[in-house]
Amino acid sequence: MTTPPWRDPALPADARVDDLLARMTLEEKTAQLYGVWVGAATDGGGVAPHQDEMTSDFDWDELITRGLGQLTRSFGTAPVDPALGAQALARAQRRISEAGRFGIPAVAHEECLAGFTAWGATAYPVPLAWGASFDPALVEEMAHRIGRDLASVGVHQGLAPVLDVVRDPRWGRVEETIGEDPYLVGTIGAAYVRGLESAGIVATLKHFAGYASSAGARNLAPVRAGVREFADITLPPFEFALREGGARSVMAAYTDTDGVPATADPYLLTELLREQWDFTGTVVSDYFGVGFLKTLHRVAGTEAQAAHAALAAGVDVELPTVHCNGDPLVEAVLAGDVPESLVDRAAARVLRQKCELGLLDEGWSPEPTGPVDLDSTANRVLARRLAEESVVLLSNPAGLLPLAPDTRIAVVGPRAADALAMLGCYSFPSHVGVNHPDLPMGIEIPTLLESLRTELPDAKITFTEGCDTTDPDTAGFEEAVARSTEADVCVAVLGDRAGLFGRGTSGEGCDVADLQLPGVQAQLLDALTAADTPVILILLTGRPYALGRWHDRLAATVQAFFPGEEGGPAVAGVLSGRVNPSGRLPVSVPQTPGGQPWTYLQPPLGLAGEVSSLDPTPLHPFGHGLGYTDFTWEDTADRHAEITTDEEYDVSVTVRNTGPREGTEIVQLYLHDPVASVTRPDVRLIGYHRLTLAPGEARRVTFHFHPDLSAFTNGRGRRVVEPGALELRVSRSSTDAAHTTHLTLTGPERHPGPSRQLTCRTTTL
């Protein structure tokens, strides 16, 4: 029997796809444009917006005779033993292949934001912690391991990373972001993509675009971003991840910008993404996003019209289950209401990606190979390293940290003895496991209390909760203060409980009115700091909270953004001194709860001034973080130079460890544009370098600045490099510059295109 051309791996993918499409019926082509979600909950405890009302019944046996585009979350819907789950997924793939005429399996996708969202899989630190690490190489290594675990059980596509830039920290999904700066988000996000893709997994960029700019910090609310904010803050991380990461999929955002839903925006999904950026992969909808064009946005009157609008804009696959792209789409095409060419265009993209994944090859097999271990020792070692690098020491004015090994410690607070305090809302135990309270967690997660007792075996440690994370009851305050006064130091462990849609204090749909600590935790901290015992505040959170109220009353403050399953030992290691903290803030820490919304990317009118009684200046700025050793920065005299608008310039600084132990300094480069044709942020990050030095060691860091890094969107909507004065500030944080180069750009105005230089290379000697 002759092998058809579409089965021949020696032929180019486009030729194979063209041959296959010509053989397929309309029903078979549309079947490639949706997924199915077996076992999706409809009882109000779902993991996607409006899941209970958007999930409909389907006849699996009949449906798969047409073929199938995607399988939704075989591991992330309910607890399943990974080895058994791999076998079940293989059986489902065999049934799909056997039922259809062409034997084409589905693409299996899963969430993998902070690790594979599956029972028994490693729970890594959340993306906000990746940002705090300022370590793209380590994030890339983590993503590669996540990708290997996904591939080991038959998964092809991961729905990560989130590349939204924080615009208002009251938004519940701040924990899922990498930070408030597009350069940091872009460089760390691209590293994650490289790691996932290097394991053969299709990385899916979320949420394209503008989702984090929703009005009032409300989840799934309209976006009010202007053209320049969108171009200069929202979009760059996606460019990073596509050009420097090689992502093969993009997820359209739920939101609408200026009245146009992203899922139905041809400029965003076709003109920009494909024609300007040359993206050739697949665009998938966020869960139920195609149906939402009818039910939430009301820009479509029927499911068929919603399918038409999404396909015309450039959405290729309806996730998570068939709602619009099935029979409604088929009937609309047959009636002449939707051009079949739109179906062909999307199906070709889906099949091309399946070809790249080997799913069209005759010898493809769904059977898992080798043992399945989703929480290996190597995974845990990596999770510990990233957790340790992400912990931020915000303050230590009296040098109380590290703690003496025989200290009497009163541990107080609702997050000290709860393993879930370490996890974000997309870690399986918080995402799905909370709906199965009788089931074991599946992974070992030491609490901070347990970890501190292990870390300091000679210390005398007592514990009391003091209060609940959200319950208003203050009855435990008296005992908490009493235990504190009996100790040498009080360690107050406060923060968030991750959840979904209001079932937590941080996470998707857990938006807040202000940045006050949840529940009565602020009052507990008041009571503790009013006593004589020094208080060390430990924050395990998914967003920054206002801390100005206690700034002068705390002996030390440590911030950890949901540091994952090894977060307890990591934070305990910082308290003991085993770990020299090196994390830096990826988001500003506000002074007062109402000083927001605010990020450090402010033009002059966004800064403090005498014409307003509200001072938005943060307590701790973006990029801030302390450690247990001292660094001196040498060669910091201001310099003056002149270059053309397309000429590279090197900025260098020598950093010396003058302290008693090895430590890590994060050398940051910021741009200040004194005069521009439109208002610009006072400073913005354009480069950074993570530098680890032994005591007495010095190294010279050089930033290779290209004027493309100064580009912005001008009043005519064009990206421009303008001649004139710039300042390059080599800094310890966004407000602590050690060295400034006054640079004058000469020559003509330039308009760099999509191939412009995105990153500032660094070298060290």
- DSSP letters along 51-119, please? HHHH-----HHHHGGG--SEEE-TTTSS---HHHHHHHHHHHHHHHHHHSSS-PPPEEEEE-BTB--ST
- Quick one: which of 677, 678, 676, 673 has its CA closest to 729? 673
- Quick one: which of 116, 144, 128 has its CA closest to 177? 128
The rounded distance, in Å, linking the Cα atoms of 75 and 431 is: 12
Q: Please, what is the end-to-end C-alpha distance for the chain in angstroms?
A: 64
Answer for the pair 720, 758: CB distance below 8 angstroms, yes or no. Answer: no
Mean pLDDT of the chain: 95
In Å, what is the CA distance from 603 to each residue of 40, 623, 672, 682, 730? Answer: 46, 18, 10, 5, 20
Answer for the pair 250, 209: CB distance below 8 angstroms, yes or no. Answer: no
In Å, what is the CA distance from 75 to each residue of 48, 148, 596, 613? Answer: 15, 15, 38, 52
- For residue 456, how many other CB atoms are within 10 A of its CB? 21
pLDDT of residue 621: 98
Determine how β-strand 535-541 pairs with β-strand 282-285.
Answer: unpaired
pLDDT of residue 741: 96
Determine how β-strand 260-261 pairs with β-strand 256-257.
Answer: antiparallel
- Quick one: which of 296, 299, 295, 322 has its CA closest to 310? 299
The rounded distance, in Å, linking the Cα atoms of 405 and 396 is: 18
The rounded distance, in Å, linking the Cα atoms of 169 and 589 is: 10
Q: Which two tokens stand for residue 702?
A: 């050089």
**Residue 73 is which amino acid?**
R
Answer for the pair 178, 189: CB distance below 8 angstroms, yes or no. Answer: yes
- For residue 298, how many other CB atoms are within 10 A of its CB? 10
**Residue 300 is which amino acid?**
A
349 Cα distance to chain centroid = 26
Give me the residues paired with residue 540 across strands: 495, 560
Q: Which two tokens stand for residue 610?
A: 């005498």
**Torsion (CA) 726, 727, 730, 731 in degrees, nearest 10:** -120
DSSP H or E segment with residue 529: helix 521-530
Q: Which two tokens stand for residue 384?
A: 């510990």
410 Cα distance to chain centroid = 34
In Å, what is the CA distance from 437 to each residue of 138, 185, 207, 440, 499? Answer: 33, 35, 31, 8, 14
DSSP H or E segment with residue 495: strand 489-495
The rounded distance, in Å, linking the Cα atoms of 556 and 179 is: 23
391 class by beta-carbon count within 10 Å (0-12 exposed, 13-18 middle, 19+ buried):
buried
- Quick one: which of 620, 604, 615 has its CA closest to 544? 620
Give the pLDDT confidence of 362-412 residue by residue, as tens digits: 889 998 888 899 999 999 999 999 999 999 999 999 999 999 999 999 999
- Quick one: which of 729, 744, 758 has its CA closest to 651? 729
- DSSP letters along 683-720, please? -EEEEEEEEEE-TT-EEEEEEEE-GGGG-EE-TTS-EE
Give me the residues paired with residue 688 across strands: 668
Q: Which two tokens stand for residue 498?
A: 């991750």
Answer for the pair 127, 96: CB distance below 8 angstroms, yes or no. Answer: no
10-residue stretch averages of pLDDT, the chain, 765 residues long: 89 96 97 91 72 78 95 94 95 95 96 97 98 98 98 97 97 98 98 98 97 93 92 97 97 96 98 97 97 97 98 98 96 98 98 97 88 96 98 97 98 98 96 91 97 98 97 97 97 97 95 97 98 97 97 97 98 98 98 84 92 92 98 90 96 97 98 96 98 98 98 95 97 96 96 93 96
In Å, what is the CA distance from 60 to each residue of 25, 48, 56? Answer: 19, 21, 12
Answer for the pair 133, 139: CB distance below 8 angstroms, yes or no. Answer: yes
**Residue 213 is which amino acid?**
S
Q: Which two tokens stand for residue 118?
A: 């599956």
Cα angle: 653, vertex 657, 658; to 5 degrees: 120
Answer for the pair 129, 386: CB distance below 8 angstroms, yes or no. Answer: yes
pLDDT of residue 41: 64
The rounded distance, in Å, linking the Cα atoms of 237 and 758 is: 10
- Looking from the CA of 216 toward its CB, the CA atoms found within 13 Å total 9
**Torsion (CA) 419, 422, 428, 430 in degrees, nearest 10:** 70
pLDDT of residue 174: 98
Determine how β-strand 35-36 pairs with β-strand 736-746.
Answer: unpaired
Q: Would you call 216 helix, strand, or coil by DSSP?
A: helix
The rounded distance, in Å, linking the Cα atoms of 454 and 578 is: 12
The rounded distance, in Å, linking the Cα atoms of 526 and 408 is: 21
DSSP-derived secondary structure letter, 124: P
Residues in the chain: 765
What is the helix, strand, coil percentage profile of the chain, to 5? 30, 20, 45
Give me the residues paired with residue 758 across strands: none
- Quick one: which of 719, 693, 689 has its CA closest to 704? 689
- Quick one: which of 104, 141, 137, 106 has its CA closest to 124? 141
Global model pTM greater than 0.85: yes
**Residue 400 is which amino acid?**
L
Residue 180 φ/ψ region, left for φ over 0, alpha for ψ in the -120 to 50 degree band, beta for the rest: alpha
- Residue corresponding to tokens 């589905």: 106
Answer for the pair 622, 180: CB distance below 8 angstroms, yes or no. Answer: yes
- Quick one: which of 217, 296, 230 has its CA closest to 263? 296
The beta-strand segments (E) located in 192-337 are 202-208, 249-252, 256-257, 260-261, 282-285
pLDDT of residue 497: 97
